[in-house]
């Protein structure tokens, strides 16, 4: 008899793809109507992303400084086709620092998809120079973990709000830089909040309905599988665009029973 251990079964999905499909179709219709040049209420921000709103019953006790990486079938960032601008912030003040020159040399020799390196000592001045041009926008910021507690203060609330992305920690000392960067780009980023509600960017409208639905379903299953309590701690999932209404795609049975009483 074989003694090979079998992995535990993945948490069974409770999502009906038909429900997600219907919601995505409604969002696409709303987007098309607002994007019509004849519409006097056109979108102020050309943000063609699909967001998943996660509502839990209890705030999970998890790492709140770095996102949970949720695998999705269709990456938001295509490193080959999109050639995105990715920025690495290094700690040049630490005694065991990695110099900017050494980082750039490693990036070039190992073909790591990082387009710019900024030293934390010159963070504000360098970012101002780089982003004077409105067309120059970094898709993601990577950094060393020890810098995460101080970066929000250095960047400022307005910067984080405007860019809609938080720096992501990677291991520059022992980890494979390229592998870590690629894994982040291929995932939906689930930043766990202090409350019960979080927002996760899961798809692009340009992907088309089928791919969006597949990403939404994969993100929901991945998030529910990653939190303590799994599906038992999930209250609601909604999908929305930046300025649209949020459309429900899942509600826990217990909450539906409460509403019906």
Phi and psi, residue 70, nearest 5°: -105, 115
| pLDDT tens string 95-146 | 778 899 999 999 999 999 999 999 988 887 777 666 555 455 678 889 998 8
Of the pLDDT bands very low, low, confident and very high (cuts 50, 70, 90), residue 72 is very high
> What is the structure's pLDDT at 117?
93
- Output 18 or 98, whichever has higher pLDDT: 18
pLDDT at 6 over 50: no
Phi and psi, residue 133, nearest 5°: -75, 115
Q: What share of the chain is helix, strand, coil (3-state, %, to 5)?
A: 35, 20, 45
| pLDDT tens string 130-188 | 655 545 567 888 999 888 888 877 777 656 555 556 789 999 988 899 999 999 999 99
> What is the structure's pLDDT at 153?
78
Q: What is the DSSP string of 192-255?
A: --SSSEEEEEEEEGGG-HHHHHHHHHHHHHHHHHHSTTGGGGEEEEEEE-TTSPPEEEEE-HHH
**pTM, 2 dp:** 0.84
> What is the structure's pLDDT at 255?
61
Supply the CATH classification number for the domain 86-184.
3.40.50.790
> Average pLDDT for residues 67-73, to the nearest whole number?
95
> What is the structure's pLDDT at 197?
94
Are 62 and 81 in contact, with CB atoms under 8 Å apart?
no
Annotated domain spans of the chain: 17-76+187-260, 86-184
Are 171 and 155 in contact, with CB atoms under 8 Å apart?
no
| pLDDT tens string 228-252 | 999 999 999 999 999 999 999 999 9
pLDDT at 211 over 70: yes
Are 219 and 202 in contact, with CB atoms under 8 Å apart?
yes
DSSP, res 38: T
> What is the structure's pLDDT at 154?
78
Question: What residues are paired with 69 via a beta bridge?
Answer: 189
pLDDT at 9 over 60: no
> Average pLDDT for residues 35-52, to the nearest whole number?
69
Beta carbons within 10 angstroms of residue 69's beta carbon: 18
| Three-class SS state of 129 | helix
Task: Determine the Cα–Cα distance for residues 204 and 216; give it in Å rounded to an integer.
Answer: 11
Beta carbons within 10 angstroms of residue 143's beta carbon: 24
| Assigned fold of 17-76+187-260 | Ribulose 1,5 Bisphosphate Carboxylase/Oxygenase (3.30.190)
How much of the chain, in percent, has pLDDT values that exceed 90?
A: 53
pLDDT at 37 over 70: no
> Average pLDDT for residues 78-92, to the nearest whole number?
88
Q: What is the residue-averaged pLDDT of the chain?
A: 84
> Average pLDDT for residues 189-207, to the nearest whole number?
92
């Amino acid at each position: 008899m074989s003694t090979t251990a079998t992995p535990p079964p993945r948490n069974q999905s409770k999502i009906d793809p038909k429900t997600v499909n219907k919601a995505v179709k409604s969002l696409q219709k709303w987007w098309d109507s607002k994007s019509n040049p004849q519409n006097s209420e056109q979108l102020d921000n050309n943000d063609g992303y699909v967001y998943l709103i996660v509502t839990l019953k209890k705030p999970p006790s998890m790492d709140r400084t770095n996102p949970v990486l949720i695998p999705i079938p269709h990456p938001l960032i295509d490193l080959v086709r999109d050639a995105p601008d990715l920025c690495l912030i290094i700690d040049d003040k630490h005694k065991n620092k990695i110099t900017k020159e050494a980082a750039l040399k490693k990036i070039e020799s190992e073909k790591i998809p990082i387009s710019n390196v900024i030293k934390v000592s010159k963070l504000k001045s360098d970012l101002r120079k780089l982003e004077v041009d409105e067309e120059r926008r970094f898709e993601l910021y990577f950094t060393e973990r020890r810098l995460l507690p101080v970066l929000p203060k250095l960047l400022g609330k307005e910067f984080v709000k405007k860019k809609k992305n938080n720096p992501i920690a990677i291991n520059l000392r022992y980890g494979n830089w390229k592998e870590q960067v690629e894994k982040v780009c291929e995932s939906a980023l689930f930043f766990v909040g202090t409350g019960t509600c979080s927002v996760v960017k899961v798809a692009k409208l340009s992907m088309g309905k089928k791919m969006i639905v597949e990403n939404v379903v994969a993100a929901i299953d991945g998030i529910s599988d990653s939190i303590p309590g799994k599906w038992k701690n999930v209250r609601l999932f909604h999908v929305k665009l930046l300025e649209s209404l949020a459309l429900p795609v899942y509600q826990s049975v217990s909450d539906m029973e409460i509403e019906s009483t």
